[in-house]
């Protein structure tokens, strides 16, 4: 219970930190960039919206702390301002439309990549020094170094443009309307194959290498040797004895890995014009649509933080040592 | 007094070369057993040399737009030309200069910050350590690329130097966390306690005793921070957040994408810069395989032959 509370405390603290970064950044920059943006949109949007923008980005004479309190208040109540690119659509609606695409794509791709990566890591560590131990880790160091967006471009060129195996862009065919019907879902999955493949190929190497190295460590432990001496079946030894203990340190790396994967996925979306958060983020940046950019950054950071929180809870469940406090 | 000084100097003179040669032996031993770090060094050197000697390897200016647009690779243009008639091979060579410099510069900043922010608080302890550890953990979980995108979008007019600074200043958290843990573990070891009891100042203990013992971790961190920096730089520039008129591997990909290289079948424009980024990343990871084996002997590839050799002068 105390462990959960501590993790929850950290989640809230990091959420607050992300929100504060969002508040501070435009005000910290030399010559507040928001002034330029507001000047650009003068006359194009209603005076009320203009005033709201001025408040949101600190182009007022009100003291900083009261700006900050208003900002937090608006944030909590879901008033994230109006997008300028899609004026007058609220930022929250654009986020609500694009978040499911990113969550689906990144979620499925990450689960696949973790599962396959960890399994291959177990396999190579078990046969360490063998043929596959020479090939797979070297290959995964190469794929881990591939830039996501470049791999996406290459896959797009080969499988989309040259061989016509997969569609070249978008999340579903423009002739279909989103619905829970078999043709739409299959069409959607068909469009998701290339982006998901990009994410899996780029991120699988890290899981494989991490798992292999941890597994090599646990295979050197005395209890594995003892288990072998007792004549345990190799399957049991491999999964119940070695892999189970080796997988724990892999999960602490999740914090950085998930942030990295999400970053890569955003670029992948840009290449495939996939209507998720990354695609919208680029549109926001290109149009200097700061309200949308702020909202997208927050929701991306929030999702990553919550994902981390859930994994930490799972980790606590798997490894009693991390819960701490009990022995003291 | 002079006697004591003499023996001290003598001892130091005897010890120093022994220490150095043993470290050298450790490194060469690893390289002998495992060829991967060597391959990494060769690939990295190849890229660095080709970037440094770019004017000797190509007759063309990378920005000159005087050639037939979108020409396929030929004897005159080894990697073809871009949509605006630039020579891809020259862009590739000159672009490597900036991409590599930005990567190493940002990696260096991130590592230096990681060393300072990781070692110092954990050694000082108390509330400074708790605060810094929490801060590091927060920086670690906030996704890096979106943060970079937002910062560079606010900055406007970002050149390679700004990008390197931003990447370096935001990319230290992972290293700081690892180095903090290692400092904590080392500061409880006997040799650190002994030197503390002998009256060494905190600074000397930190720099003279703890830092040298985690040098391999620092190097590993430099390697990873550099890979991450090269990737981040390319990503930002691909999105058009860099200065598009500066030729780098990232801006090459940006122009290739906006110039519809794929729809024109101009693979020669897209493949080289990305492949170069991946190969540099690969070479650094391969080098890191060697560094890892210094800090973690269990990862070493052991062959029975080495163990059987009788060791001369081994302590009995």
Q: What is the pLDDT of residue B100?
A: 95
CA distance B91 to A123: 42
Write the residue in B154, B286, B298 that is nearest to A25 by C-beta.
Answer: B154
Place of tokens 């410099």: B101
How many Å lie between the alpha carbon of A236 and the closest alpha carbon of chain B? 23
Residue range A224-251: mean pLDDT, rounded: 84
CA distance B175 to B109: 11
Q: How confident is the model at residue B250 (pLDDT cuts 50, 70, 90)?
A: very high
Task: Choose from B134, B142, B286 for mutation: most chain A CBs within 10 A.
Answer: B142
Q: How confident is the model at residue B21 (pLDDT cuts 50, 70, 90)?
A: low
Residue B285 with chain A: CB contacts under 8 Å? 141, 144-145
* pLDDT exceeds 80 at position B295: no
Interface of A with B in 292-311 (CB under 8 A): 293-294, 296-297, 300-301, 304-305, 308
Residue range A192-217: mean pLDDT, rounded: 89
Lowest-pLDDT range, A108-122, A208-222, B9-23, B49-63? Answer: B9-23
Q: What is the pLDDT of residue B120?
A: 85
Domains and CATH numbers, chain B: 48-54+76-296 (1.10.3720.10)
Interface of B with A in 212-231 (CB under 8 A): 227, 231
CA distance A188 to B76: 45
Q: How confident is the model at residue B96 (pLDDT cuts 50, 70, 90)?
A: very high
Residue A286 with chain B: CB contacts under 8 Å? 240
**Contact flag B142-A286 (C-beta cutoff 8 Å):** no
Q: Name the percent of chain A lying above pLDDT 70.
A: 95
CA distance B259 to B261: 5
CA distance B199 to A247: 43
Write the residue in B145, B154, B262 that is nearest to A263 by C-beta.
Answer: B145
Residue B271 with chain A: CB contacts under 8 Å? 154
Q: How much is the mean pLDDT over chain A? A: 84
How many Å lie between the alpha carbon of A176 and the closest alpha carbon of chain B? 25
Q: How much is the mean pLDDT over chain B? A: 82
Q: What is the pLDDT of residue B230?
A: 93
Choose between A326 and B205: higher pLDDT: B205
Q: What is the pLDDT of residue B309?
A: 40
Closest residue in B to A133 (Cα) is B301
Write the residue in A25, A255, A308 that is nearest to B151 by C-beta.
Answer: A25
Contact between B152 and B214 (Cβ < 8 Å) = no
Q: What is the pLDDT of residue B302?
A: 55
Query: CB contacts < 8 Å between A and B, how many?
Result: 150
List, in sequence order, every residue forming a beta bridge with B87; answer none if it has no partner. Answer: B81
How many Å lie between the alpha carbon of B138 and the closest alpha carbon of chain A? 5
Choose between B80 and B231: higher pLDDT: B231
Phi/psi of residue B35, nearest 5 degrees: -85, -10
Residue B282 with chain A: CB contacts under 8 Å? 141-142, 145
Tens digit of each residue's pLDDT (9 = 90 or more) over B41-51: 999 999 999 99
CA distance A195 to A203: 12
* pLDDT exceeds 80 at position A43: no
Tens digit of each residue's pLDDT (9 = 90 or more) over A79-130: 888 887 787 788 889 999 989 999 999 989 988 999 999 999 999 998 888 8
Lowest-pLDDT range, A150-159, A181-190, B74-83? Answer: B74-83
Choose between A322 and A232: higher pLDDT: A232
Task: Choose from B137, B148, B154, B293 for mutation: most chain A CBs within 10 A.
Answer: B154
How many Å lie between the alpha carbon of B278 and the closest alpha carbon of chain A? 5
What are the percentages of helix, strand and coil residues in chain A, rounded to 5?
Answer: 75, 0, 25
Q: Name the percent of chain A lying above pLDDT 90.
A: 18
Q: How confident is the model at residue A324 (pLDDT cuts 50, 70, 90)?
A: low
Q: What is the pLDDT of residue B19?
A: 53
CA distance B155 to B18: 52
Write the residue in A10, A153, A220 that is nearest to B298 by C-beta.
Answer: A220
B165: its two tokens: 């600074």
Tens digit of each residue's pLDDT (9 = 90 or more) over A253-269: 776 778 888 888 899 99
* pLDDT exceeds 90 at position B97: yes
Choose between B164 and A86: higher pLDDT: B164
Give whole-number Cα distances, A234 to A20, A126, A129, A238, B92, in Å.
52, 10, 17, 6, 50
Close Cβ partners of A137 (under 8 Å, ≥ 6 residues apart): A124, A208, A209, A212
Any CB–CB contact under 8 A between A11 and chain B? no
Q: How confident is the model at residue B231 (pLDDT cuts 50, 70, 90)?
A: very high
Residue range A168-184: mean pLDDT, rounded: 78
Contact between A169 and A272 (Cβ < 8 Å) = yes
Contact between A206 and A257 (Cβ < 8 Å) = yes
Residue B103 with chain A: CB contacts under 8 Å? none
Residue range B100-128: mean pLDDT, rounded: 90
Choose between B302 and B182: higher pLDDT: B182
Please count the CA atoms within 13 angstroms of the CA of B164 that sit on its side-chain side: 18
CA distance B86 to B70: 9
């Amino acid at each position: 219970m105390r462990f959960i509370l501590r993790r929850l405390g950290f989640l809230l603290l990091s959420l607050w930190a992300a929100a504060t970064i969002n508040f501070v950044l435009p005000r910290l920059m030399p010559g507040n960039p928001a002034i330029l943006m507001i000047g650009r949109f003068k006359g194009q949007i209603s005076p009320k919206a203009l005033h709201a923008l001025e408040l949101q980005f600190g182009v007022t004479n009100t003291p900083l702390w009261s700006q900050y309190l208003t900002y937090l208040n608006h944030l909590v109540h879901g008033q994230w301002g109006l997008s300028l690119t899609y004026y007058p659509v609220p930022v929250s609606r654009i986020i609500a439309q694009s978040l499911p695409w990113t969550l689906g794509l990144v979620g499925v791709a990450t689960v696949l990549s973790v599962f396959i990566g960890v399994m291959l890591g177990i396999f190579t560590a078990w046969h360490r020094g063998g043929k596959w131990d020479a090939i797979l880790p070297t290959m995964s160091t190469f794929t881990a170094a591939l830039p996501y967006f470049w791999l996406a471009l290459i896959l797009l060129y080969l499988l989309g443009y040259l061989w016509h195996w997969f569609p070249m862009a978008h999340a579903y065919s423009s002739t279909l309307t989103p619905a829970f019907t078999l043709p739409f879902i299959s069409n959607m999955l068909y469009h998701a194959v290339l982006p998901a493949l990009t994410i899996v190929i780029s991120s699988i190497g890290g899981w494989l290498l991490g798992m292999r190295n941890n597994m090599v460590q646990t295979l050197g432990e005395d209890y594995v040797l003892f288990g072998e001496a007792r004549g345990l079946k190799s399957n049991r030894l491999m999964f119940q004895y070695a892999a189970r203990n080796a997988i724990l340190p892999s999960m602490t790396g999740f914090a950085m890995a998930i942030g990295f994967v999400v970053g890569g996925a955003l670029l992948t979306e840009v290449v495939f014009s996939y209507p998720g958060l990354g695609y919208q983020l680029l549109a926001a940046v290109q149009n200097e649509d700061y309200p949308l950019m702020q909202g997208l950054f927050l929701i991306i950071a929030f999702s990553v933080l919550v994902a981390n929180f859930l994994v930490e809870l799972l980790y606590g469940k798997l490894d009693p040592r991390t819960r701490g406090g009990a022995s003291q | 007094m002079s006697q004591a000084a003499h023996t001290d100097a003598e001892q130091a003179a005897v010890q120093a070369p022994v220490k150095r040669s043993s470290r050298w032996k450790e490194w060469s031993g690893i390289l002998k057993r495992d060829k991967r770090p060597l391959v990494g060094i060769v690939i990295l050197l190849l890229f660095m040399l080709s970037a440094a000697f770019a004017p000797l390897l190509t007759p063309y200016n990378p920005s000159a737009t005087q050639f037939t647009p979108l020409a396929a690779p030929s004897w005159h243009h080894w990697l073809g030309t871009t949509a605006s008639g630039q020579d891809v091979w020259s862009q590739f060579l000159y672009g490597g200069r900036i991409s590599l410099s930005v990567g190493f510069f940002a990696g260096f900043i991130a590592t230096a910050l990681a060393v300072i922010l990781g070692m110092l608080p954990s050694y000082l302890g108390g509330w400074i350590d708790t605060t810094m550890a929490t801060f590091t953990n927060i920086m670690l979980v906030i996704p890096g690329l979106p943060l970079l995108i937002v910062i560079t979008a606010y900055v406007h007019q970002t050149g390679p130097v700004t990008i390197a600074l931003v990447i370096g200043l935001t990319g230290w958290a992972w290293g700081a966390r690892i180095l903090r843990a290692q400092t904590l573990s080392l500061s409880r070891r006997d040799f650190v306690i002994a030197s503390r009891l002998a009256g060494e100042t905190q600074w000397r203990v930190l720099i003279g005793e703890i830092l040298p013992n985690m040098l391999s971790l620092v190097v590993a961190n430099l390697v990873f921070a550099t890979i991450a920096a090269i990737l981040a730089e390319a990503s930002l520039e691909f999105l058009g957040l860099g200065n598009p008129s500066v030729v780098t591997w990232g801006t090459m990909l940006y122009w290739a994408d906006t110039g519809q290289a794929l729809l024109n079948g101009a693979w020669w424009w897209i493949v080289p810069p990305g492949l170069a980024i991946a190969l540099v990343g690969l070479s650094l990871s391969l080098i890191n395989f060697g560094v890892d084996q210094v800090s973690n002997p269990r990862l070493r590839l052991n062959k029975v032959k080495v163990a059987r050799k009788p060791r001369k002068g081994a302590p009995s």
